[in-house]
Amino acid sequence: MATTPSYNNDKVVTGEVEYPAGDPASGAFFQPDYKKNEDLKQMLDGSKDSLKLEAMKRIIGMIAKGRDASDMFPAVVKNVVSKNIEVKKLVYVYLVRYAEEQQDLALLSISTFQRALKDPNQLIRASALRVLSSIRVPMIVPIVMLAIRDSASDMSPYVRKTAAHAIPKLYSLDPEQKEELVGIIDKLLSDKAPLVVGSAAMAFSEVCADRMSLIHRSYRKLCALLADVDEWGQLALLNVLTVYAKTCFPDPNLENYSSDSEEKPFYDSESETSDHKRTVSPSVDPDLRLLLRAAKPLLQSRNAGVVMAVAQLFYHCGPIQELPPVAKAMVRLLRAPVEVQSVVLNSIAALTVSKRSLFEPFLKSFFVRNSDPTHIKLLKLEILTNLATEASAPVVLREYQTYVTSSDKAFVAATIQAIGRLAVAIQTETETCLNGLLHLLSSKDEWVVCEAVVVVKRVVGGGASSARAAVSRAAKLLRSDRLAGNARAAAVWLVAEHGAKHPRAAAILAHMVSNFADQEELVKLQLLSLAVKLSITQPDTLPMCKYVLHLARYDASYDVRDRARMLRKFIEPQNESLLAQYASHIFCPDKPKPTIQSNFKDRDQYTLGSLSQYIGSAAGGYTSLPSAPAQALAAELREPPPPEVQPTPVQKNKKTFYSEPEGESASGSTSSASDSSSGSEESSDEDEGNDNEEKPKQTNNYKSNSDSSDSESDSSSSSSDSGSDSEASSEEEAPKNDTMPPEPVKEETVKKNEKSNLELLLELDEVASTLPTMTPTCGGFLSPPTMAPSGIAEEDMITPVGPSIVPNRSIELISRVMSGGLSVNARWTRAPHLYSGKMCAIQLTITNHTSDDVTDIRINKKIVSGSRSIHEFPSIPSLGPGASTITLLGVDFADSIQPVEFTIASSLGEMNIVVTPQVGELIRAVNMSETRWGQEQRKLRGMTECNKKAPKMENDLIMCTKVFETANLGAVESPINFLKFAGRLMSSQDLVLLSVRIESDYSIVTVNCPNMAVSSMLANEIACSFSKYY
């Protein structure tokens, strides 16, 4: 059956179920496994997709059952290139599971993912990143890092979301990457797509939960996006924002409220906005208010986790008057599945200890049903006890009366305890409670009686009022000999404590002492106390006391003997010691009333709804919320940074975008913010179809804007408005966030603003200006793909610099002999071509050696492949005899040293020219700080690093010169004996980092570049140039 191809699930399952090794009882357990796997391997090695699928399904079945399938790794990993998407998916699942164990083999699959990362389909890009980052092999850290960095600026928000998910994975694999990852998180947090933000918040709390400074800049935007994020993202985001709010805003409950602290719903309709400005208590920071306002609707979420997260925010950061709606929502969760109930009740129990009034209106919701599981019953009981007030105590007590007859023993015991607590807590009910408890003492259920006695002992404590009745009852019980150990001891204590003057106490003692030897140890100890106390209050019982002590002296338990020996000192009349004098003070003092506390008293210290709160102790990785600062922190940091270049009308627009709304309603402004952001997202996203353009109106699920109720035409006009807003804002955004690599299209508009007159002139000439090209002076360095994580200061930026040495050496491309009189020499100028920053400018010197004019010299045919291109020089109409002219040719080598070919045509005919670049010429020197250099180099370790040993030269200067001659690199400040250089590849803008470490008798040349070919070639050439010196 294993060999028949079958697609459908049912057949596969039958196969799986019948499989001999699947069931240990079938006797196949001890059979060698290899045979079974052999046939799976064959199926995988075959060419039929159906067989492969079948095999993969069975392997996944093995994984699901937890059986080891690692020996199939080589066979499976081959299929990572499979065209069949289902096979591929299953291979991914397998790979993620076993890559950790088979690291070397797992590396085989990496190139597939690297290729897939460049796929035009966003789903494929995202899934490649997902799997690549899930493979826990330390060797691929640099590759994953690179992939994350690229994907974080992908055009598809889905891929960016995946990048956010990949960040914690990489972090757990190699915590050293933290700094760089933090940079990416920072970038993702300022993303405008709600899809991305939630995952970014998750990554933030996983990797760098303590870096609150990252939030400042995007705080207001995050608040605005909160409603649009998916529910799991809301959860993560709320948690982050709660910590942030706690860190940055003073506790709104500390200041005194003015009289207007009424609980009006805030900001629910626009007309009232200005009124509310005044009524909102001044102690709530406007930014905190923004968050609370954004979070409040989420109380209506269907997701219990989100509701709890909002409750957490309001409880820990919000003003106390706004808690009632939160309580209501929490009570609503009690209708959810029992697991949710359990967690919510736990939190409510902790809340009711300090904030009883919140849940008082919901008292009846906590009444226990017989069908509740025991731990739910106990929690409800706890809450009921906490909630009971003088007014509600009778109701609660009536409920308790029902509960004590339950068949659930643990619950009955807890109820009796609860009655005891109620008796202590509520003075007016003490009598009733005690009566009830005493009634229980005569219950037929011994178990109930024991529990009741113990509780009565606690309740009676010091208050003597009702003690008499209790003692009488206890005395009766003791006489009936129905009590077991613990309860009996408690009863004796009760008599000793409160019945010392009771006439029947002596009789009880006599009764108990009659079988002293058979009593339990605990009871014996209590009897000793009772005897001594009696002898003090009723001196005529002294002989009996002595008798008891005598009995105890020969007891088997040393505790009892010890106690007896000590007590004897108090009652012996012969030595009128101090002890005997003060005996009555020692044994019969006035004791304060005991307080019985809730078990949940200390749960308050943990964050509401956290795992730690549930289990009552700090869980691993738990960090408590920081205490609120006395003053609001970093308010100015939350202001959006002032844009640098900005036309005035846009600036005005900007004001209303972020700052507190004045005329406009709050909800309106936030939704317009989100609209404009989604609008800009769409305009820059080519993967998304145009159909999304119509959607922004329908997006705002929680904050439907006021105008959506209006006519269609109105909404369409407003959406076009927001569209234009978004354009404006994206335009201004780009120069502001110059740390973000803007997408090329956007960048074009940015640079238009910055162009000088000269460039504008140039642009008029260039027909190709509509193409996404770089303007000359910027040299394309405005948009380095690997940017510094923001937060790195200006001096840490990478700036292009001119070449250190421009070699004078020229290469003869065409000799006069071959062409019949026209020679062409080329020289590398080491400067980018004016046409595009990706092009090397090559200076051509064309000389006419003939005696006639050569006319119409131009480039005729260009033979270029791939992304490489040539920008021809303007054709030369004529060149006089003996004259020579200099012109510039631009060649984009696309970072490879493949030669480019072209022909120069002239009146003398066509000549073929081949230009082969040196790898050093494909680089452009850049300037950067040493620390930045170090950071960048750390990112490029592993496969992208190339080392070469080279001879050593007498001094650093010569070595520097050699390096500059070989490659167009910029020097980086560096220590002695460790020279550092940096450059960028012309075309891809990848960084090239070169270092020369000088050892005692040799030097080591290290090149780091994402382009592995470049790094190895450059290392070779540099090493070569060093050796040529000799």
Partner 1 sequence: MIHSLFIINPSGDVFLEKHWRSVIPRSVCDYYLEAQRASPNDVPPVLAAPHHYLISIQRGGVALVAVSKQEVAPLFVIEFLHRVVDTFQDYFSDCTETIIKENYVVVYELLDEMLDNGFPLATESNILKELIKPPNILRTIANTVTGKSNVSSILPSGQLSNVPWRRSGVKYANNEAYFDVVEEVDAIIDKSGATVSAEIQGYVDCCIKLSGMPDLTLTFVNPRLFDDVSFHPCVRFKRWESERILSFIPPDGNFRLMSYHVGSQSVVAIPIYVRHNLVLKSNGDQGRLDLTVGPKQTMGRTLENVSLEICMPKCVLNCSLTANQGKYSYDPVSKILIWEIGRVELPKLPNIRGSVSVASGADTSGANPSINVHLTIPALAVSGLRVSRLDMYGAKYKPFKGVKYVTKAGKFHIRM
Pairing relation of β-strands 854-863 and 900-906? Answer: antiparallel
Among residues 937, 942, 946, 896, the alpha carbon closest in space to that of 916 is found at: 896
Q: Catalogue the long-range contacts made by 558-561 (C-beta closer than 8 Å, 24 or more residues apart).
A: 559/521, 559/525, 560/521, 560/524, 560/525, 560/528
Within 10 angstroms of residue 354's Cβ, the number of other Cβ atoms is: 12
Considering only 621, 641, 642, 866, the residue that binds partner 1 (CB under 8 A) is 621
Considering only 385-393, 454-462, 707-715, 738-746, which stretch makes contact with partner 1 by CB under 8 A? 707-715
CB of 156 to partner 1, least distance (A): 7
Considering only 440-448, 513-521, 524-532, 826-834, which stretch makes contact with partner 1 by CB under 8 A? 440-448
Rg of the chain taking only CA atoms, in angstroms: 42
Which is closer to partner 1, CB of 4 or CB of 651?
4
Which is closer to partner 1, CB of 407 or CB of 480?
407
Question: Binders of partner 1 among 273-302, rule CB under 8 A?
Answer: 297, 300-302
Among residues 378, 457, 455, the alpha carbon closest in space to that of 421 is found at: 455
Among residues 1014, 748, 1013, 991, the alpha carbon closest in space to that of 149 is found at: 991
Note the residue count of the chain: 1030
Question: Binders of partner 1 among 346-385, rule CB under 8 A?
Answer: 361-362, 364-365, 367, 369-371, 373-375
CB of 481 to partner 1, least distance (A): 18
Question: Binders of partner 1 among 959-998, rule CB under 8 A?
Answer: none
Residue 236 interacts with partner 1 (CB under 8 A): yes or no: yes
Residue 622 interacts with partner 1 (CB under 8 A): yes or no: yes
Q: How far apart are CA 1020 and CA 394, in angstroms?
A: 91
Q: How far apart are CA 419 and CA 422, in angstroms?
A: 5
Residue 683 interacts with partner 1 (CB under 8 A): yes or no: no
Residue 157 interacts with partner 1 (CB under 8 A): yes or no: yes
CB of 338 to partner 1, least distance (A): 8
CB of 158 to partner 1, least distance (A): 6
Considering only 158-166, 560-568, 836-844, 1000-1008, which stretch makes contact with partner 1 by CB under 8 A? 158-166
Among residues 90, 166, 174, 158, the alpha carbon closest in space to that of 134 is found at: 166
- 335 contact partners, CB below 8 Å, separation of at least 6: none
Residue 690 interacts with partner 1 (CB under 8 A): yes or no: no
Considering only 134, 519, 836, 935, the residue that binds partner 1 (CB under 8 A) is 134
Crossing angle (nearest 10°) for helices 930-939 and 141-152? 110
Considering only 442, 472, 699, 974, the residue that binds partner 1 (CB under 8 A) is 699
Q: How far apart are CA 264 and CA 324, in angstroms?
A: 11
Considering only 617, 799, 855, 867, the residue that binds partner 1 (CB under 8 A) is 617
Question: Binders of partner 1 among 875-914, rule CB under 8 A?
Answer: none
CB of 397 to partner 1, least distance (A): 13
Distance set, CA 565 to CA 515, 528, 555, 579, 803 (Å): 20, 11, 11, 14, 100
Q: How far apart are CA 373 and CA 380, in angstroms?
A: 11
Residue 815 interacts with partner 1 (CB under 8 A): yes or no: no
Considering only 117-125, 283-291, 424-432, 1006-1014, which stretch makes contact with partner 1 by CB under 8 A? 117-125
Residue 308 interacts with partner 1 (CB under 8 A): yes or no: yes
Considering only 404-412, 515-523, 932-940, 951-959, which stretch makes contact with partner 1 by CB under 8 A? 404-412
Return the sign of the alpha-carbon dihedral for residues 669, 675, 679, 682.
Answer: positive
Q: C-alpha dihedral over 29, 35, 36, 39, to 10 degrees?
A: -170
Which is closer to partner 1, CB of 431 or CB of 446?
446
Type of residue found at 896? S
Asked if 160 and 151 count as a contact pair (C-beta separation under 8 A), the reply is yes
Considering only 82-90, 585-593, 653-661, 920-928, which stretch makes contact with partner 1 by CB under 8 A? 82-90
Question: Binders of partner 1 among 56-75, rule CB under 8 A?
Answer: 57, 60-61, 63-66
**Alpha carbon 481 to its chain's center:** 63
Crossing angle (nearest 10°) for helices 9-18 and 49-64? 50
Within 10 angstroms of residue 161's Cβ, the number of other Cβ atoms is: 25
Type of residue found at 155? M
Asked if 905 and 857 count as a contact pair (C-beta separation under 8 A), the reply is yes
Considering only 253, 281, 442, 443, the residue that binds partner 1 (CB under 8 A) is 443
Return the sign of the alpha-carbon dihedral for residues 210, 216, 218, 224.
Answer: positive
Considering only 191-199, 279-287, 643-651, 934-942, which stretch makes contact with partner 1 by CB under 8 A? 191-199
Residue 199 interacts with partner 1 (CB under 8 A): yes or no: yes
Which is closer to partner 1, CB of 332 or CB of 997?
332
Return the sign of the alpha-carbon dihedral for residues 157, 159, 162, 167.
Answer: negative
Among residues 906, 839, 823, the alpha carbon closest in space to that of 871 is found at: 839
Structure token digits, residue 664? 């406009």
Residue 407 interacts with partner 1 (CB under 8 A): yes or no: yes
Asked if 496 and 530 count as a contact pair (C-beta separation under 8 A), the reply is yes
CB of 101 to partner 1, least distance (A): 9
Type of residue found at 525? L
Residue 228 interacts with partner 1 (CB under 8 A): yes or no: yes
Considering only 154-162, 278-286, 566-574, 827-835, which stretch makes contact with partner 1 by CB under 8 A? 154-162
Residue 340 interacts with partner 1 (CB under 8 A): yes or no: yes
Question: Binders of partner 1 among 636-675, rule CB under 8 A?
Answer: 667
Considering only 36, 52, 169, 217, the residue that binds partner 1 (CB under 8 A) is 169
Which H or E run contains 183? helix 178-189
Collapsing DSSP to helix, strand or coil, 814 comes out as: strand
Residue 813 interacts with partner 1 (CB under 8 A): yes or no: no
758: left (phi over 0), alpha (psi -120 to 50) or beta: alpha
CB of 856 to partner 1, least distance (A): 54
Residue 322 interacts with partner 1 (CB under 8 A): yes or no: no
Residue 86 interacts with partner 1 (CB under 8 A): yes or no: yes
CB of 8 to partner 1, least distance (A): 4
Q: C-alpha dihedral over 447, 451, 454, 460, to 10 degrees?
A: -120
Considering only 31-39, 229-237, 641-649, 725-733, which stretch makes contact with partner 1 by CB under 8 A? 229-237
Considering only 78, 89, 568, 827, the residue that binds partner 1 (CB under 8 A) is 89
Question: Binders of partner 1 among 2-41, rule CB under 8 A?
Answer: 6-10, 12-13, 16-17
Please give the DSSP secondary-structure letter assigned to residue 788.
Answer: P
Structure token digits, residue 78? 């081959």
Which is closer to partner 1, CB of 365 or CB of 903?
365
Residue 165 interacts with partner 1 (CB under 8 A): yes or no: yes
Question: Binders of partner 1 among 708-767, rule CB under 8 A?
Answer: 708-709, 712
Provide DSSP, 421-442. HHHHH-GGGHHHHHHHHHHHHT
Considering only 142-150, 199-207, 465-473, 869-877, which stretch makes contact with partner 1 by CB under 8 A? 199-207
Question: Binders of partner 1 among 239-258, rule CB under 8 A?
Answer: 239
Residue 858 interacts with partner 1 (CB under 8 A): yes or no: no
Residue 444 interacts with partner 1 (CB under 8 A): yes or no: yes
Considering only 91-99, 649-657, 808-816, 1007-1015, which stretch makes contact with partner 1 by CB under 8 A? 91-99
CB of 134 to partner 1, least distance (A): 7
Residue 782 interacts with partner 1 (CB under 8 A): yes or no: no
Residue 700 interacts with partner 1 (CB under 8 A): yes or no: yes
Which is closer to partner 1, CB of 339 or CB of 852?
339
Pairing relation of β-strands 970-972 and 876-879? Answer: unpaired
Which is closer to partner 1, CB of 114 or CB of 406?
406
Q: How far apart are CA 838 and CA 519, in angstroms?
A: 98
Distance set, CA 1004 to CA 921, 962, 992 (Å): 22, 14, 16
Collapsing DSSP to helix, strand or coil, 134 comes out as: helix
